[in-house]
Amino acid sequence: MAQQLIGLLLGAEEDWPRAFEDLVGRLGPIWHNGDIYDIRAERLTIEPFHLRSKPRTDLVIDRLAHWYYHPREWLKKIALMDDVYLLNSPFTSQSMEKHSAYCALVQMGMHVPETVLVPYKNPLDNVRWAYASKKYNNSFDLAAVASGVGYPMFMKPFDGGAWRGVSMIRDEGELRRSYDESGEMLMHLQASVDNFEVFARALTIGPETMVMNFRPELPMHERYAVSYDFLTPQMGAETATIAQTVNAFFRWEFNSCEMLVKEGVAYQRNLPKPRIFVRCAGRSSVPCEFPKISGTSSGVCRSNRLRPELSRNPQSSSKLAGRCTSRHRLLLGRVPRLPG
């Protein structure tokens, strides 16, 4: 007998969940196509979760994530990585923060540093918070969670924001101080990539990608070096493919991706920036990027769509899919079509 678990993600509601749990409890075994299923319902609690952890639920009924962001991010993780069916799907409203990109890239076999999403430090400004928090929030040991990630690490907002709220964490004292200061920001703890060789930033506009040598320690107008051959041909192709793959996955036409290259591995650090980015790229990139922007924009206006896609027929896949390495493990027939 196969057991199927329905997870209930709840806030301050008690009436319909009780009735639902009672009805599911009365179902008994269900026969379908020669198989027997035992359907159960369980209320879900809120606690830190690893991106690579596996859920027990097959379906989640969500009545909380539209205002409480920590469980919303767990929903997006299990949808992207674990094929859990969602009612309702948070992707109807959002898909453009770093958390979603991390989950997608982990699922595709790319190199994302160890990352944990921790709950809010301060209560949310919502009348339903007190009840939901008291009933469903599990207490956790922040130091133990950080120890599993490993020092040094970064604490940073799950949705990005131009270095808003980003802290370098070297020990438990800095960990607790940064967490206290995070307030109502929902934060990732992410392992640092020490002693990297190259900080590569890829700017993709439509089907074209430029990988640039980025030097974050310099003033803004000097950070993008006019340099060539700073990556091996193989790594140059891989960084461009990573940027184009995440765009194809989320159906973005304009995006910037940050990668740290170390010992032949490109670690994905800061992927989703689906908005205008040329103003940050320095004067050296403007002359070559604006023609790409205008060309892509005019193409979109003419055809109403100019989106990078992965063909569902592997024999006729685009050049993008052809360049993806085996370790990316792209399942061409399962690239989701997200809103946007």
Structure confidence at residue 333 (pLDDT): 35
Mean pLDDT of 15-20: 87
Same domain, 23 and 157: yes
- The secondary structure of 26-65 as a DSSP string is HH--EEETTEEEEEEEEEPPB--EETT---S-SEEEESST
CATH (domain of 321) = 3.30.470
Same domain, 173 and 281: no
pLDDT tops 90 at residue 46: yes
pLDDT tops 80 at residue 160: no
Q: How crowded is the C-beta side of 221, counted as CA atoms within 13 Å?
A: 1
Mean pLDDT of 157-184: 89
Q: Is residue 104 part of a domain?
A: yes
Same domain, 213 and 187: no
pLDDT tops 60 at residue 340: no
Q: One-letter amino acid identity for 117?
A: L
CA distances from 157 to 161, 164, 190, 307 (A): 8, 7, 11, 28
| Cα pseudo-dihedral 294, 95, 190, 248, rounded to 10 | -50
pLDDT tops 50 at residue 313: no
Same domain, 148 and 208: no
- Summarised one tens digit per residue, pLDDT across range 248-262 is 887 776 778 889 999
- Rounded distance, CA 246 to CA 23, Å? 42
Same domain, 235 and 308: yes
Same domain, 16 and 79: yes
Same domain, 123 and 210: no
- The secondary structure of 172-207 as a DSSP string is HHHHHHHHHHHTT--EEEEE--TT-SEEEEEEEETT
Which of the listed residues 157, 191, 225 is the one where a domain comes to its end? 191
Mean pLDDT of 323-330: 37
Q: Is residue 340 part of a domain?
A: no
pLDDT tops 70 at residue 302: no
pLDDT tops 50 at residue 197: yes
Mean pLDDT of 127-139: 90
Q: How crowded is the C-beta side of 270, counted as CA atoms within 13 Å?
A: 20
Same domain, 157 and 236: no
pLDDT tops 60 at residue 274: no
Domains of the chain: total: 2
Q: Is residue 106 part of a domain?
A: yes
Q: Strand, coil or helix: what is 340?
A: coil
Which of the listed residues 168, 191, 214 is the one where a domain comes to its end? 191
Same domain, 274 and 129: no
- Rounded distance, CA 80 to CA 98, Å? 13
User: Considering the entire predicted model, what is its pTM?
Assistant: 0.69
Q: Are 235 and 243 in contact (CB under 8 A)?
A: no
Same domain, 212 and 181: no
Mean pLDDT of 98-102: 86
Q: Are 45 and 18 in contact (CB under 8 A)?
A: no
Same domain, 105 and 221: no
How, if at all, do strands 115-118 and 49-50 pair?
Answer: antiparallel
Range of the domain at 30: 2-191
pLDDT tops 50 at residue 99: yes
- Triad 258, 332, 318: Cα angle to 5°: 75
pLDDT tops 80 at residue 321: no
- The secondary structure of 97-141 as a DSSP string is SHHHHHHHHHHTT-B---EEEE--SSPPSSTTHHHHHHHHBPP--
Mean pLDDT of 193-221: 87
Structure confidence at residue 327 (pLDDT): 35
Q: Is 257 exposed, middle or buried (0-12, 13-18, 19+ CB in 10 A)?
A: buried
Which of the listed residues 158, 191, 224 is the one where a domain comes to its end? 191
Structure confidence at residue 95 (pLDDT): 67
- Summarised one tens digit per residue, pLDDT across range 5-17 is 999 999 988 888 9
